[in-house]
Amino acid sequence: MMTTNTHHNIINIRLIMTLGVLMMAVIICSFLSTDLKSTTSAAASHKDSVKPHTPLKHVRSTQKPKPIAAKQHNDPSHPQRTTAAPDVHIPTLEDGLAPVVTSLPTKQPVVFLTIDDGAHKTPDELQTMNDNHLVASIFLARLFIADNPLFFADFTKYGSLIENHSLNHYIRPAEIESYELQKQEICGMADYEQQTYGRRPIFFRPPGGAYSVAMQRAAADCGMKAIVTWIAKANGGSMQYQIGDHLRPGDIVLMHFRPEFQQDMRAFLDAMNSQNLHTELLENWMPPAK
């Protein structure tokens, strides 16, 4: 009897010790995971405090550019819609001045493509956009499109939108600073586009990129919601960045309808795909109507 009891006691002691070790392990694990969680949320709140237009640090991607992926459909009966919920919005007018937008501080994997002027018009341009499921805000100046404005109407059937790049594309400082001339140029092109394409533009892109308070006021008075500049461009077959060496979420990219459209588009697509970004319309990132 004694022997059996002792044997049982030894088994009980072993059992208690094993349970004790297991409990210790569970307690240590839960401490570790709490520690991890608090580190993660600290990193997130630090990220949240990054101000708009503060250069963001990115780890350079070592991935090869993806094959061009079908992220947005191009059936004209189903216009392309924004696929990422906007987590930031374009600022509203302040003191009667249109805000100037260079990029949006979004965390969504989106980039905003803009294509300017409209001088070069060949059917392969729309084809390339559709083949790659791209949408863009297209900033036209009447100077460049008066010979064939309806060439650009087809782009809108596939989800792109036409915006305002002035009537005559003036880029001299005195012209930029003249309220009256800016109003003629911006309101004149808004009216022309409304008549030609059936939609009034909401964005103005300053020819050459320089802007003034007079221009911001004239743009607002003509009903424009923002002056849209850019932070990166596809130009001469390669990408040029104002900050860093690759595209980041929320970047506004400038391109042109030029003879080198295909080379510029190739450079843009490679830059976009290497960062796992896709195009969306800047127009969908307006603040919700009140």
Residues in contact with Zn ion by CB under 5 A are 116-117, 207
Angle between helices 123-131 and 261-274 (to 10 degrees): 10
User: Cβ of residue 116: shortest distance to Zn ion, in angstroms?
Assistant: 4
Rounded least distance, CB 117 to Zn ion, Å:
4
Pick 225 or 233: Cβ nearer Zn ion: 233
Question: What is the closest distance, in whole angstroms, from the C-beta atom of residue 103 to Zn ion in the complex?
Answer: 19
Nearer to Zn ion, 116 or 193 (CB): 116
What three-state secondary structure class fits 175? Answer: helix
3-state class (DSSP) for residue 151: helix
Angle, CA 225 vertex, CA 224 and CA 231 arms, to 5°: 105
Q: How far is the CB of 81 from Zn ion (least distance, A)?
A: 28
| Residue with Cβ nearer Zn ion (230 or 285) | 230
Instruction: Give the number of residues written for the chain.
Output: 290
Q: By C-beta, is 110 or 222 nearer to Zn ion?
A: 222
**Least distance (Å) from Zn ion to the CB of residue 58?**
29
What sections of 85-178 are H helices per DSSP?
Answer: 123-131, 142-145, 153-157, 173-177
CB of 145 to Zn ion, least distance (A): 11
Smallest separation, CB 94 to Zn ion (Å): 26
Residue 110 or residue 252: which is nearer to Zn ion going by CB?
A: 252
**Closest of 260, 257, 259 to residue 238, by C-alpha:** 260
| The CA-based dihedral angle spanning residues 139, 141, 146, 152, taken in that order and rounded to the nearest 10 degrees | 0
> Residue 137: in which H helix or E strand, if any?
strand 137-140
Residue 120's identity, in one-letter code, is H
Give whichever of 55 and 208 is closer to Zn ion, judged by the CB atom: 208
Whether the CB-CB separation of 223 and 194 falls below 8 Å is answered with no
Pairing state of beta strands 252-256 and 232-235? parallel
* 221 contacts: CB under 8 Å, gap ≥ 6: 96, 183, 187
The SS3 call for residue 140 is strand
Please, which residue, 219 or 277, has the CB nearer to Zn ion?
Answer: 219
